Structure 1
Amino acid sequence: MGMLLGLDLGTEGARVGAFTTDGVALGSVHRPYRTTFPRAGWAEQDPQDWWASLVDASRTLLATPACRAAGPVVAVASATTASTVAVLDADGVPLRPAILWMDSRASPQADRTATFAAEHPILAWSGGSDASEWLLPKAMWLKEHQPETYDRAARIVEAVDYLTFRLTGRWVGSQMNAVCKYNYDGLEGAFPTALYAALGMADLVPKLPDEILPVGSVVGALTATAAAELGVVGEPPVCIGGIDAHVSLLACGSPAGVVSLVSGTSSAIVAEVEDPVTTTEVWGPYPHALRTSRWLVEGGQVTSGSVLKWTGENLMGVARENLSTLVAGAAAVDPGAHGIRALDTFMGNRTPYRDARLRGAVVGLTLGTTREELYRAAIEAVACGTRGVIDSFVRAGVACDRLVFSGGIEKNPLWQQISVDVLGREAEIVAGDNLTLRACAVVGAAGAGLVRDLDEGAAAYAPTTRTLTPDPAHHEVYRQTYDDYVGLLAALTPIMHESVDRLARR
């Protein structure tokens, strides 16, 4: 008897889940925290809020009858948003708010990394350059714009590294985050010191975690202090997790031909390949990021569910509990008749355009446009962004035999249906489960020795899914919608760039 505890720091809040040692979900608890937007394109959170929300969620969950009856916690694993960068003193106390993954302020610094691609081949593993979301460009921005804070910082780390420190007292990083977000060499097991030096960032290395370990490794025991705060009895092992969306692959069963589409506030679209692919349209291929026998590729949308939230809740003023009525009304709209085209790039584009200076847009509005038509157009824009990523995977030679959706999209049936209608292919949707938490259970089981390795855990803990089938007639309509989406983005890109640059100069 016993249970596996998963900790997930998402964009909108912390979620803690518990599973039996044979993979049965015992429940989960979510606690929100605040995001601030100090300037256009900026987004920040307080790491102290992360921990407070985790503590509240964990204590609440572990007090439930199901968890009390399951026995002690036998392992803890965590996953977080990636490229959410915490700036801390030696004791782990924040020196400034964490810079959230969606924050695009470091776009000029990211562009600078591309100029070193020929000289530093390691950049080929990130498609030729770093993205503005990633730790290295954000650290560069901090050094240039807030040098006193940079100099005072003992640690500049990913959110998952901060969480590992709070759990164990050790500065140990996830190899997944290190490889995917700050150019760590997963083959040689070394920081890219030459690249850092070329960018004027040689002094970043001592601020990063002291040790980098693969996903599934044991960092150490949960400290007595952390255990008491979280409501955990004993000091179970803490196992290295990683990026919330990326570890979701561990909850999809066999990795062959699987693409995991974690669609919530943003959309992260990830797959693993046996041999590296060469393309500048995706992030990666990353060596030894998840399974040390495979390469990981990543695409995604900076804003997806957040666009729908903004449209329905912020713009239209529809309360979250009433969104189902708006969704039902939008489902009745003829996709070929409303005439609206929208772009989902509110905070830039991850892939395939890799452009942090893109912004959202809507064209085709009339005085007769209804809120249902506008909401449907927003979903169609998000689905077109998803198709752009999948098409780029196909062009790169990544097998996309099985698409598995999970995340916030599960709560919006119209988003699900329009996505497969635009894609023109079947997909699976995870039913009533959180893939990140389930993947944490796989990681914990591997670290605790309950399974031989991550592959065995992935097979044993696979979730239940159902199939989404596209409407052939709607897919034909959406062929033109997608072409319009691509054309509109091309036409507006120069205007968006000038607007963003003008604001940056103010």
Structure 2
Amino acid sequence: MRYVIGVDLGTSAVKCLLVSEGGEVVASASRPFDSMRIRSGYSEQDPEQWVQETVHCLQAVMAAAGVEASSVDGISFSGQMHGLVLLDEQQRLLRPAILWNDTRTSAECREIEATVGWEHLLAIAKNPALEGFTLPKLLWVRKHEPHLYDRAAVFLLPKDYVRFRLTGNIHAEFSDAAGTLLLDIPRREWSRELCDALAIDRGICPPLVESHACVGTLLPSIAEATGLTPSTPVFAGGADNACGAIGASVLEEDRTLCSIGTSGVILSPDRRERDVTGKLHYFNHAVPGIDYAMGVTLAAGQSLSWLRKLIAPSQSYDSLLAPIDSISPGAGGLLFTPYLSGERTPHADADIRGSFIGLDVSHSQAHMVRSVVEGITFSLCESLAILRAQGKSVDRIVSIGGGAQSETWLQIQADIFNAEMVSLRHEEGPGMGAAMLAAVGAGWFDRLDECAAVFVKWGRTFDPHPSRVEEYRQLFALYKEVYQQTESLSCRLKRFRDAERIQSV
């Protein structure tokens, strides 16, 4: 039997999957890591912790499976997008990584818009300047930490740094590079025009390869630490959302993905080069010849984990969600907006903050939990509404992540989205997509759709209930009003948040 390994570098943990030729997960391991939030809006991590925990995970899956190291035909990666890792000429870390959910870069976003121009930026990078992207982070370091920027020889995205530390080779691939705001997405190359306009040396951008490309083998020290062989091929991998779509067989235009992790994503593959408007993200897929449109809710699963930590820290998520099935749609007149970290789609607003609207003494914990679940789903529905307004037919959606672990939540998705929701029998998330890229890279299959036919197993289907679809249609209209009514309040409250931030430093 032959095997591949998929490594998923998430925001809160790294997970490794050892997968057989039949697509079965033979062993898995996960290791958490910490984020540093030294100020409001800041989010950083130590890249060396990513490496240490990845090595531990690889060692754990090999030990648990008890397979011969020579039977592993490849390793590939999925990773959190947009994070900035800076290395000097000796390939040493210059500072902690600035993550995708860091929102300190509003001024740099305005600088990019003023220098490049909104329409010109969309024509090249296919996305507006948003705080989460890599380019604004690079400009922030140049402005606020020039002594570090001047020493920077190359930037890497999170998974690419881990892969570099395992192989000694520096590369980026297109699906992750598309989220930097420095990639010319139609031409699939680093944009000389954007780099020149912003006075960035294009040499700081790493070499680009395809997601299934072999980029080296394991360093001897890594092989010894993990129980693998130094000859184990390592493949480039893909962005977490692209790999999540691959692992859910969302490879072509006839399927849409709903992924609810720390953030939430609606992703729709596309073979056409669209005239984008900036309302949705537009990235290169890890599937050759395919792009995708994507909407993002910044604090999706994070909203539920925040509520659990606040009101029921000793409860499991299953226990927390179990009572919501007895609560009617609308959670007894309680609406939640999941803007705990600002918002991305459709409101590119780093300052907006979340709210409960309609809270009264009759509401129980179950009402609050259902309201948060519905609010997350309403936010994702705003991305679906944009896709549909652009002429996209969305009738069948594959659901993965935390939102697919609860049948009640899957039914809520079906009713709010007014679409058939499909779950996976064994949902492994982006790590499975990474393993599939390794399988294709290793020559097991010629194409990803051939791999998906073997690896992806379908679970239950949830159809929308017409009466609940209508109830949620009315509630969705109310939900969309909350942003307009609270935007100015959040902006005016920002100075109090900033004052507390300054005092805490």
Matched with 1:390 is 384
CA 1:45 to 1:412, structure 2 compared with 1: closer, same or farther past 3 Å? Answer: farther
2:270 equivalent to 1:273: yes
Matched with 1:298 is 294
* Residue of 314, 318, 321 corresponding to 1:319: 314
The Cα of 1:7 is off from its aligned counterpart by: 0.7
1:121 is paired with a residue whose SS is helix
Conservation of the 8 A alpha-carbon contact between 1:270 and 1:296 = yes
Q: Residues of 1 paired with 2:431 and 2:254: CA distance?
A: 22
Matched with 1:239 is 235
Conservation of the 8 A alpha-carbon contact between 1:277 and 1:397 = no
CA 1:336 to 1:178, structure 2 compared with 1: closer, same or farther past 3 Å? Answer: closer
Q: Residues of 2 paired with 1:500 and 1:192: CA distance?
A: 35
Is 159-168 or 271-280 further displaced after alignment?
Answer: 271-280
* Residue of 386, 401, 409 corresponding to 1:407: 401
Matched with 1:230 is 226
Matches within 5 A, 1:76-475: 76-116=75-115, 118=117, 121=120, 123-124=122-123, 126-200=125-199, 202-203=200-201, 205-209=202-206, 211-253=207-249, 254-286=251-283, 288-313=284-309, 315-321=310-316, 323-336=317-330, 338-475=332-469
Conservation of the 8 A alpha-carbon contact between 2:122 and 2:277 = no
Conservation of the 8 A alpha-carbon contact between 1:281 and 1:353 = no
Conservation of the 8 A alpha-carbon contact between 1:8 and 1:14 = yes
Deviations 1:199-230 (A, max 9, x none): 24x23x33321x10011111122222222222
Q: Residues of 1 paired with 2:471 and 2:116: CA distance?
A: 41
Conservation of the 8 A alpha-carbon contact between 1:142 and 1:150 = yes
Deviations 1:254-313 (A, max 9, x none): 513211222111112222111122342544433x54233222212111111110111122
The Cα of 1:316 is off from its aligned counterpart by: 0.3
Matched with 2:57 is 57
The Cα of 1:158 is off from its aligned counterpart by: 0.7
Conservation of the 8 A alpha-carbon contact between 1:342 and 1:377 = yes
Q: Residues of 1 paired with 2:94 and 2:28: CA distance?
A: 31
Q: Residues of 2 paired with 1:337 and 1:499: CA distance?
A: 27
The Cα of 1:164 is off from its aligned counterpart by: 2.0
Q: Residues of 2 paired with 1:335 and 1:119: CA distance?
A: 40
Count of paired positions: 499
The Cα of 1:502 is off from its aligned counterpart by: 6.5
The Cα of 1:116 is off from its aligned counterpart by: 4.9
Deviations 1:57-116 (A, max 9, x none): 11111111x452696211110011001222233444432221111111112222333345
The Cα of 1:450 is off from its aligned counterpart by: 1.6
Q: Residues of 1 paired with 2:381 and 2:442: CA distance?
A: 39
Q: What TM-score comes out, normalization by structure 2 length?
A: 0.92
For structure 1, which runs of at least 5 residues remain unmatched after alignment? none
Is 403-412 or 186-195 further displaced after alignment?
Answer: 186-195
Matched with 1:6 is 6
Counterpart code for 1:16: C
CA 1:481 to 1:187, structure 2 compared with 1: closer, same or farther past 3 Å? Answer: closer
Conservation of the 8 A alpha-carbon contact between 2:258 and 2:267 = yes
CA 1:271 to 1:119, structure 2 compared with 1: closer, same or farther past 3 Å? Answer: closer
Counterpart code for 1:277: R
Counterpart code for 2:303: V
Matched with 1:493 is 487
1:87 is paired with a residue whose SS is strand
The Cα of 1:467 is off from its aligned counterpart by: 0.8
Deviations 1:124-177 (A, max 9, x none): 355552221111011111111122222223332210220221122111111111
Q: Residues of 1 paired with 2:114 and 2:376: CA distance?
A: 31
For structure 2, which runs of at least 5 residues remain unmatched after alignment? none
Matched with 1:36 is 36
1:180 is paired with a residue whose SS is coil
Q: Residues of 2 paired with 1:281 and 1:123: CA distance?
A: 7
CA 1:280 to 1:127, structure 2 compared with 1: closer, same or farther past 3 Å? Answer: farther
CA 1:239 to 1:337, structure 2 compared with 1: closer, same or farther past 3 Å? Answer: closer
Q: What TM-score comes out, normalization by structure 1 length?
A: 0.92
The Cα of 1:4 is off from its aligned counterpart by: 0.3
CA 1:38 to 1:452, structure 2 compared with 1: closer, same or farther past 3 Å? Answer: same
The Cα of 1:501 is off from its aligned counterpart by: 6.1
Q: Residues of 1 paired with 2:44 and 2:353: CA distance?
A: 19
1:152 is paired with a residue whose SS is coil
Deviations 1:299-338 (A, max 9, x none): 111111110111122x2033243x4333222221223461
1:27 is paired with a residue whose SS is strand
CA 1:459 to 1:131, structure 2 compared with 1: closer, same or farther past 3 Å? Answer: farther
The Cα of 1:49 is off from its aligned counterpart by: 1.1
Is 458-467 or 475-484 further displaced after alignment?
Answer: 458-467
Is 489-498 or 165-174 further displaced after alignment?
Answer: 489-498
Q: Residues of 1 paired with 2:4 and 2:333: CA distance?
A: 50
The Cα of 1:33 is off from its aligned counterpart by: 0.6
CA 1:366 to 1:52, structure 2 compared with 1: closer, same or farther past 3 Å? Answer: same
Identity of aligned residues (%): 26
Counterpart code for 1:326: L
CA 1:256 to 1:335, structure 2 compared with 1: closer, same or farther past 3 Å? Answer: closer
1:139 is paired with a residue whose SS is helix
Counterpart code for 2:254: G
CA 1:352 to 1:251, structure 2 compared with 1: closer, same or farther past 3 Å? Answer: same
Cα RMSD of the aligned pairs, angstroms, is 2.3
The Cα of 1:477 is off from its aligned counterpart by: 2.0
